[in-house]
């Protein structure tokens, strides 16, 4: 259990403070991630960017599955059903399996050796990130986003420096990615693990003793409970990666590099969305646990309004000066694809809404239903890519991402509303509103009954 008081070193921060810290950390980290693509584009070629993007596209779905979305489950575990060591034990086991799976995928596809090594190096970096993520989940549940922010700042700055230096000195994306993996491993060992252990001590988290067999049973239950969500998030990641698979196979690594570089610009919006979502997730979960439907809906409405406003600004900027932006941050050959930029930002706008809705689905614990929604998204994305990319090239790839975003946002909203209506408090609200309408109709002059 966790005992919290104002004089403890891990007393909770306010929602505003948590958002501010998360925003700062995400801005710096996202800027560094974007900077890595810029470094590859400036120091190398679109093909090098494409190989790096391919590594991310192959490894991301694997780690999304192996992560089982445990960080969000841990951060929203308001009743503390599982202990931190349960989350950590499951994450260590699934991360090992993920690395083995990536090695098998690379060998089965038969990419050139340098491409294969680059993909596996990206996988090693993702493994370090996966372990850090579970410590961040603990800090997020304790609402200490400042500690997470500093870890992200360190990771972003060191990985940008390492990748850019590796590419500059070797002229190879492989050694740049190896440097990035080394930077993430260093931050994990020097900062993330010590911060996590400090949180366990500082927040007075007590782990009751239990036999190893009991702990294994608890870990299996946790993994089984989270598996539908892990499958669902993997399918979401696949929906993002599938257009890149089609582009790489049908149009080549150079076209993939251009598409990935353009798509990465939306990270400016996802930084804000991610920061706000991370800060608001525990509150959404608490509102649902308390049965406070009105507060839950009010918070979700505010989050969606922010997503709509931010997305609209992004589309407007892309439409007005998108070509100039692409030329300035990358190279002139990227500026010719401004129309792709506009379409990508429209898809991103809907995706921002889907981000908040997805976290709301997790908060209301509709984990298995999410898996079916995400499966529908994946199937629709495959169909859209197979139809649109051969005919319209990169324009078709951007349109396919739109299909995914719309299905996610609309389907998720329907599921959240269904879950809220099932709460006793929501049913009571409905009865109160019905009674109020009847009373109004009875006193309204001129109303015939």
The per-residue pLDDT for 387 is 93
Q: What is the rounded average pLDDT of the residues 61-85?
A: 84
What are the residues whose beta carbons fall under 8 Å from the beta carbon of 312, sequence distance 6 or more? Answer: 349
List pLDDT tens digits, range 48-62: 999 999 999 999 999
φ/ψ region of 215 (left if φ > 0, alpha if ψ in -120 to 50, else beta) reads alpha
Strand stretches in 24-82, DSSP E: none
CA distance between the termini of the chain = 58
* Contact indicator for 8, 204 with CB cutoff of 8 Å: yes
Using alpha carbons, select from 261, 277, 272 the residue that is nearest to residue 336. 261
Secondary structure of the chain: what % helix, strand, coil (to 5)? 85, 0, 15
Given a cut of 70, is residue 426 above it in pLDDT?
no
Residues 448, 11: Cα–Cα separation, whole Å? 60
Given a cut of 70, is residue 5 above it in pLDDT?
no
Q: How far is CA 327 from CA 69, 261, 323, in A?
A: 37, 12, 6
The per-residue pLDDT for 367 is 67
List pLDDT tens digits, range 150-182: 999 999 999 999 999 999 999 899 999 999 999
For 57, counting Cβ atoms within 10 Å of its Cβ (0-12 exposed, 13-18 middle, 19+ buried), the class is buried
For the chain, helix (H) and strand (E) counts, in that order, are 17, 0
Using alpha carbons, select from 352, 280, 362 the residue that is nearest to residue 74. 362
3-state DSSP assignment of residue 285: helix
List pLDDT tens digits, range 367-410: 677 778 888 889 999 999 999 999 999 999 999 999 989 998 99
Residues 390, 199: Cα–Cα separation, whole Å? 52
What are the residues whose beta carbons fall under 8 Å from the beta carbon of 318, sequence distance 6 or more? Answer: 325, 338, 341, 342, 344, 345
* Contact indicator for 86, 215 with CB cutoff of 8 Å: yes
List pLDDT tens digits, range 202-250: 665 555 555 566 678 888 888 888 887 788 778 878 888 999 999 998 9
The pTM assigned to this predicted structure is 0.76
What are the residues whose beta carbons fall under 8 Å from the beta carbon of 88, sequence distance 6 or more? Answer: 134
**In 110-211, which ranges are continuous DSSP H helix?**
113-141, 145-170, 173-187, 193-202
List pLDDT tens digits, range 98-132: 999 999 999 998 888 999 999 999 999 999 999 99
């Amino acid at each position: 259990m966790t005992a919290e008081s104002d004089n403890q070193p891990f007393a909770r921060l306010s929602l505003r403070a948590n958002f501010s810290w998360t925003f700062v950390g995400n801005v710096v980290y996202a800027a560094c991630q974007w900077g890595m693509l810029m470094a590859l584009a400036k120091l190398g070629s679109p093909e090098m960017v494409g190989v790096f993007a391919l590594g991310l596209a192959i490894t991301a779905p694997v780690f999304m599955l192996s992560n089982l979305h445990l960080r969000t489950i841990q951060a929203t575990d308001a009743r503390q059903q599982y202990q931190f060591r349960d989350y950590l034990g499951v994450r260590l086991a699934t991360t090992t399996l993920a690395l083995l799976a990536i090695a098998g995928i690379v060998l089965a596809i038969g990419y050139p050796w340098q491409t294969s090594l680059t993909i596996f190096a990206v996988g090693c970096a993702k493994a370090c990130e996966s372990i850090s993520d579970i410590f961040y989940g603990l800090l997020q549940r304790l609402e200490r986003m400042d500690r997470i922010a500093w870890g992200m700042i360190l990771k972003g700055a060191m990985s940008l420096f390492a990748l850019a230096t590796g590419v500059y000195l070797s002229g190879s994306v492989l050694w740049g990615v190896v440097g990035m993996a080394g930077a993430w491993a260093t931050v994990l060992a020097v900062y993330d693990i010590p911060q996590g252990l400090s949180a366990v001590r500082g927040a007075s988290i007590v782990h009751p003793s239990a036999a190893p067999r009991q702990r294994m049973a608890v870990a299996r239950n946790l993994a089984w409970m989270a598996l539908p969500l892990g499958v669902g998030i993997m399918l979401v990641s696949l929906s993002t990666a599938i257009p890149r698979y089609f582009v790489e196979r049908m149009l080549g690594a150079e076209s993939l590099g251009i598409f990935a570089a353009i798509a990465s610009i939306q990270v400016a919006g996802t930084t804000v969305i991610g920061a706000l979502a991370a800060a608001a997730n525990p509150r959404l979960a608490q509102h649902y646990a308390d049965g406070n439907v009105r507060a839950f809906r009010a918070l979700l409405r505010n989050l969606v309004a922010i997503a709509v406003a931010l997305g609209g600004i992004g589309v407007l900027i892309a439409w007005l000066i998108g070509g100039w932006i692409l030329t300035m941050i990358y190279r002139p050959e990227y500026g010719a694809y401004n129309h792709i930029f506009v379409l990508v930002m429209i898809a991103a706008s809907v995706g921002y809404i889907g981000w908040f809705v997805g976290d709301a689905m997790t908060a209301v614990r509709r984990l298995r239903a999410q898996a079916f929604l995400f499966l529908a998204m994946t199937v629709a994305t495959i169909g859209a890519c197979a139809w649109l990319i051969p005919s319209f090239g990169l324009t078709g790839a951007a349109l396919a991402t739109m299909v995914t975003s719309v299905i996610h946002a609309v389907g998720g909203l329907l599921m959240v509303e269904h879950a809220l209506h099932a709460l006793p408090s929501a049913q009571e609200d409905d009865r109160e509103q019905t009674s109020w309408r009847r009373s109004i109709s009875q006193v309204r002059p001129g109303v015939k009954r």
